[in-house]
Amino acid sequence: MGLDFDAWYGGSYDPEPSGPVAPVPLAEGGALATLFDWVRPQWDTTYRQDHRVPGDALVLGRFLPAHRGHALLIARAAAHVQGKVHLGVAGTTGDFIPPSARSTAVFQLVPREHRGDALQCIDVGAGPVGAGDAFWAPWLAWFRAQPKLAACRTLVAGDPNARRFAELLGLSFLLVDRSELPLSASMIRADPWKHWEDIAPNLRSYFTRTVALVGPEGAGKSTLGKALGAHYRTSLATEYLPRWCRTMGVDVPSVQQLAGEVLEGQLGSLRQARVSARGFCFADTESLSLSLWSKRLHGVPGTWDAAPPSLTLLLEDAAPWLGRKDRDEPQQRLAFFEALRREWSARAWPFVVVGGPREARFGQAITAIDAWVKQRPAAVR
């Protein structure tokens, strides 16, 4: 008999309901917790055993994504054997998290003195449950082709169906009770932000989404972005262009400067924000807006590719104007707002117009974002 080969913790494990479970608010939890702090509870409760069996252990799964349940599984393996813990990371070339990234993540969950190898098994066949021993044939071939697994004596899994694989290989079998930590990869993929703290920290970026704030100069993007970041306790990618202009002593950057240093600085700001985000981050301006700004200044739009934000708050021109008097160009600001609206509409990128008095814009933004969050935009179906 085969098994649902999502991850042998296993990935489709669905614990019995024990009453209503309240979703974890996005505002809670430390987005910047170190990997050691994250995995230490599993090590502390598990990694204490004096009587270990000889040989190495193998933990095999998709780890899509790696999570606390996998950390428990790996800690159990390390506590059970005298030798190394090897990891077989199964996947396909189309997985939304590359097998190489998952291999790196799960390898770091193994206690250092027991680290063996993280081996990828890409596009190895996975037949339907109930296909008999034929289900295991490609996995047997994969295992026997791995010289680094020659010292393996134990297969560790959270799915009892994996026992047959161990029997066919002539290995002992250690079954980890999944009810100790009722969690699965499929549960996480269905609602990643609810289980944010359970995802391995170095894989959270694959579930991170971006809310962009765009609009004409002086619309209040920076002020609103800071307020929203504080409200949701997440990160903000600040606009790079004003910083660059101050540093370089330049009032109007050239086309080449916009396409080079300014664009790279803006993308770098976004990368940093995504790393420290909790669920989603805010971006004060983004690359398509920068392209349209290039067109407004020089008549030449940027030619770079722009990745769509998950949601955009399109800010109308704000009154009264609070910037430098020599920069007060209401007609140009209105034209820029309409250009943004046309471009977002043409690309079918989701956006919400935020307008009216400045003091009302924060509430409008909160309403739009809360409605968007309820749609589970990070879910992987």
Q: Note whether 97 and 203 are within 8 A (CB).
A: yes
Structure tokens at 211: 């809310």
Which amino acid, residue 376? R
HEC per residue, 354-376: ECCCHHHHHHHHHHHHHHHHCCC
CATH 3.30.70.3040 fits 208-373, yes or no: no
Mean pLDDT by 10 residues, the chain (381 residues): 46 41 36 56 56 92 94 92 96 92 95 94 71 87 96 94 94 89 92 95 95 90 94 93 84 84 88 93 89 82 83 86 61 88 95 92 97 96 82
User: What pLDDT does residue 273 have?
Assistant: 93
- Other C-beta atoms lying within 10 Å of the C-beta of residue 48: 9
Domain boundaries, the chain: 35-202, 208-373
- How far is residue 163 CA from its own chain's centroid? 32
User: What pLDDT does residue 171 have?
Assistant: 97
User: What pLDDT does residue 62 have?
Assistant: 93
Q: Note whether 115 and 106 are within 8 A (CB).
A: no
HSE at residue 34, side-chain half, CA atoms within 13 A, is 3
User: What pLDDT does residue 39 have?
Assistant: 64
Cα angle vertex 125, ends 170, 70, to 5°? 65
- For the structural domain made of 35-202, what CATH number should be given? 3.40.50.620
User: What pLDDT does residue 20 have?
Assistant: 30
One fold for both 35-202 and 208-373?
yes
Q: Report which of 165, 191, 155, 182 is spatially closest to residue 55, judged by C-alpha positions.
A: 155
User: What pLDDT does residue 12 have?
Assistant: 46
Cα dihedral sign, 124-128-129-132: negative
Sheet holding 172-175, edge to edge: 115-122, 85-91, 56-61, 152-157, 172-175
Reduced DSSP (H G I as helix, E B as strand, rest coil) percent helix, strand, coil of the chain, to 5:
45, 15, 40
User: What pLDDT does residue 128 have?
Assistant: 58
